Amino acid sequence: MLQVKTIGLLGGMSWESTELYYRLINENAKKVLGGLHSAPIAMVSVDFQEIEELQHVGDWEELARILARKAMQVESAGADFLLICTNTMHKVAGEVSDAIDIPLLHIADATADRIASDGVSTVGLLGTRFTMEQEFYKGRLAENGLDVLVPSQADREIVHRVIYEELCLGMVNDESRREFLRIIDQLAESGAEAVIEGCTEIGLLVNDDHTDVGLYDTTRIHAERAVTFSLERRNEQ
């Protein structure tokens, strides 16, 4: 009988992107396994209002405590490994990993592996202001051998605002899409060979149909890596 590891999801940041994770993981599981197969998943979802407020006052210690506690619940529910279903909250990935006894699949590692396999070395990065400006994410990509470009400060503010005031509320605005495409083009003109959609909601707004610049959708990459890992033999972890 096929031994499939249970995928742990720490979600709700926002629920729109967590819904996408759930769908993509199950679509990939069905694609690989066929028939009526779906992915075994254990999930705990947080209240994003509380998370967002703590992010914007900079209380990352409390955020780490909350996510570590929720990650322990995911593990207790039977997960064999964990995904944090958001880019920004990987700022506390170390604290979360320390709180559990199962592996954590880091979204930046999965993304960097995919980019490296494509032979790309210089990438643009879009995400929340925290993700674009702080080293917890850019540094992780650099450790994986990538040169990372980010938009200007004014454009970083636009991207951050659209994420929190529109995409996290389920709003997809054509004017915001045009702004994102302008920013993507500027990153390409600055030398980016492709652009990382380093926020799990950005794929709701911009995808490969909208631009000739190569895009790396971190939600999709993370979900695909989860299915691959779940099917690896347990002694290969």
Asked if 27 and 226 count as a contact pair (C-beta separation under 8 A), the reply is no
Q: Which tens digits make up the pLDDT trace of 179-237? A: 999 999 999 999 999 999 999 889 989 999 999 999 999 999 999 999 999 998 654 44
Average pLDDT, the chain: 94
Q: Which tens digits make up the pLDDT trace of 150-194? A: 999 999 999 999 999 999 898 999 999 999 999 999 999 999 999
Residue 84 Cα distances to 8, 19, 50, 63, angstroms: 9, 13, 16, 13
Q: Pick the more confident residue, 3 or 166.
A: 166
pLDDT surpasses 60 at 38: yes
Neighbouring residues of 197: CB distance < 8 A, sequence distance ≥ 6 = 126, 127, 203, 206, 215, 216, 217, 218, 219
Q: Please determine, looking at this structure, whether the domain spanning 7-106+220-236 carries the CATH number 3.20.20.70.
A: no
Asked if 87 and 65 count as a contact pair (C-beta separation under 8 A), the reply is no
Q: What pLDDT sits at residue 200? A: 84
pLDDT surpasses 60 at 134: yes
d(CA 151, CA 186): 8
d(CA 165, CA 54): 16
d(CA 194, CA 122): 7
Q: Which tens digits make up the pLDDT trace of 52-70? A: 999 999 999 999 999 999 9
**Element housing 8 (H / E):** strand 7-11
d(CA 221, CA 24): 10
In the chain, the N- to C-terminal Cα span, in Å, equals 19
**Residues that are catalytic:** 86, 199
pLDDT surpasses 60 at 49: yes
Q: Which amino acid is at 15?
A: W
Q: Ramachandran region of residue 21, left (φ > 0), alpha (ψ -120 to 50) or beta?
A: alpha
Q: Which tens digits make up the pLDDT trace of 113-129? A: 999 999 999 999 999 99
Q: What pLDDT sits at residue 97? A: 98
Q: What pLDDT sits at residue 235? A: 41
Nearest alpha-carbon partner for 187 in 161, 164, 214: 214
CATH topology of domain 108-218: Rossmann fold (3.40.50)
Q: What pLDDT sits at residue 120? A: 96
Q: Helices 107-117 and 218-231 sit at what angle, rounded to 10 degrees? A: 90
Q: What is the dihedral of CA 213, 128, 229, 146, to 10 degrees?
A: 60
Asked if 138 and 159 count as a contact pair (C-beta separation under 8 A), the reply is no
User: Is the C-alpha dihedral spanning 227, 228, 233, 237 positive or negative?
Assistant: negative
Same fold, 7-106+220-236 and 108-218: yes
Q: What pLDDT sits at residue 2? A: 66
Q: What pLDDT sits at residue 237? A: 46
3-state secondary structure of 121: coil
Asked if 107 and 84 count as a contact pair (C-beta separation under 8 A), the reply is yes
User: Is the C-alpha dihedral spanning 199, 203, 206, 210 positive or negative?
Assistant: positive
